[in-house]
C-alpha cells in the first residue's frame, strides 16, 4: 500500500479571498509576522499497489478531472510513504 498526497492550490494570479480573510483575522489574535496566506486543498490517497509511473499517472488523471479545476488551480502529486500491506 502506498500513500500519495495531492495538494491543490489556486494559481498565483487568482485572487484567494479565503487566504486574505485569514490574514486579516491575525492581528485580532495578536499574531504578527505573517506576510501572506493562501488556502488550498489537501488529499491523501491510498493506492493498492506501488506508486509506479502507471499508478502516478492515474493519480494525476484523478487530480486533473476530480480534485482540481485546471483553469484556476494547479496541483502537486507527492509520494508520501510506501510500505507492504
Q: Residue 71: helix, strand or coil by DSSP?
A: coil
Least Å distance, CB 10 to a copy of itself, is 10
Q: What residue ranges bind a copy of itself (CB under 8 A)?
A: 1, 7-9, 19, 22, 25-26, 29, 31-49, 55, 58-59, 61-62, 65-67
Residue 41 vs 69, nearer CB to a copy of itself:
41
Q: How many Å apart are CA 72 and CA 41, to the nearest integer?
A: 13
Residue 42 vs 83, nearer CB to a copy of itself:
42
Least Å distance, CB 35 to a copy of itself, is 4
Q: How many Å apart are CA 14 and CA 23, to the nearest integer?
A: 16
Contact 9, 77 (CB under 8 A): no
Q: What are phi and psi of 37, to 5 degrees?
A: -135, 130
Least Å distance, CB 71 to a copy of itself, is 19
Amino acid at each position: 500500500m502506498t500513500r500519495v498526497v495531492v495538494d491543490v492550490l489556486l494559481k498565483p494570479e487568482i485572487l484567494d479571498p479565503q487566504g486574505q480573510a485569514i490574514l486579516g483575522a491575525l492581528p485580532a489574535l495578536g499574531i504578527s509576522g505573517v506576510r501572506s496566506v493562501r488556502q488550498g486543498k489537501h488529499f491523501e490517497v491510498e493506492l493498492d499497489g506501488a506508486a509506479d509511473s502507471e499508478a502516478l499517472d492515474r493519480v494525476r488523471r484523478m487530480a486533473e478531472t476530480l480534485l482540481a479545476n485546471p483553469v484556476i488551480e494547479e496541483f502537486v502529486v507527492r509520494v508520501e510513504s510506501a510500505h507492504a500491506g
